[in-house]
Amino acid sequence: MNVVVQNIERADQAVIDALGKCGVATVHEAQGRKGLLAANMRPIYAGARLGASAVTISAPPCDNWMVHVAIEQVQDGDILVLAPTSPSNAGYFGDLLATSMQSRGGRGLIIDAGVRDIADLAEMKFPVWSSAVFAEGTVKETLGSVNVPVVCAGALVNPGDVIVADDDGVCVVRREEAEKVLEKARERIANEEEKRNRLASGELGLDMYNMRQRLADKGLKYV
């Protein structure tokens, strides 16, 4: 019942990196407004932005044994995504594990639980999005699984799915949809550049998007 899946497929690294540059809001919109993890998943420091390939962890509450197991499965460009099997805010992860991750090219951590040593992690430029910052220690007593589908902060994440994360939060993109989503995200960005210029010059969204008639049709009254 407790397994480590060793061979997982990943999206193309160039696609992953490019999605990371697009950012969470854009990618979320580009794939039809889906894939966001819950709003309480916040970065431990401002300014990080990344795309990475998910190595998933299903871990017992307050037990970080599986993190050690998962790191062996990490390749350059990967990110850990940890979902506890019961709600926990314990600090599963700190600077030693981050050191190990960085030595393998791991890019960060998404965890619906706690993280600690965040001053050190910020200095190491190791980004974490978590639902808590808490120093509570964990044990190494009970098995979980690595690289199985998990529900993390309300979103289904499969191993090899693409994680996009920045100051706005975290979004997951299905591995098999990554290319298509990137294409749409790029269209969106190109499109926004022109809009930004028009809005900056004083044009109103009401006019730019032709909203006035539809507002009147729906019954909006100006008084």
Applying CB under 8 A, does 219 fall inside the site for a second copy? Answer: yes
Q: Tell me the DSSP string of 51-74.
A: EEEEEEEEE-TTB-HHHHHHHTT-
Q: Minimal distance in Å, beta carbon 50 to a second copy? A: 13
At 195 the three-state DSSP class reads helix
Applying CB under 8 A, does 86 fall inside the site for a second copy? Answer: yes
Q: State which of positions 172-191 bind a second copy (CB under 8 A).
A: none
Task: Report the residue from 85, 180, 186, 188 that binds a second copy according to the rule CB under 8 A.
Answer: 85
Q: Which two tokens stand for residue 117?
A: 């040593």
Q: What is the CA radius of gyration of the chain?
A: 20
Contact between 185 and 20 (Cβ < 8 Å): no
**Interacting stretch for a second copy, rule CB under 8 A, among 10-18, 41-49, 180-188?**
41-49
Q: Minimal distance in Å, beta carbon 139 to a second copy? A: 6
Task: Report the residue from 32, 176, 183, 187 that binds a second copy according to the rule CB under 8 A.
Answer: 32
Q: Minimal distance in Å, beta carbon 51 to a second copy? A: 15
b/e for 70-104, b at 16 or more Cβ within 10 A? Answer: bbebbeebbbbbbbbeeebbbbbbbbebbeebeee
Q: State which of positions 9-28 bind a second copy (CB under 8 A).
A: 23-25, 28
DSSP-assigned beta bridge partners for residue 59:
84
Q: State which of positions 124-163 bind a second copy (CB under 8 A).
A: 132-137, 139-143, 149, 151, 154-156
For a second copy, which is the closer residue by CB, 12 or 118? Answer: 118
C-alpha span between 92 and 88 (Å, rounded): 10
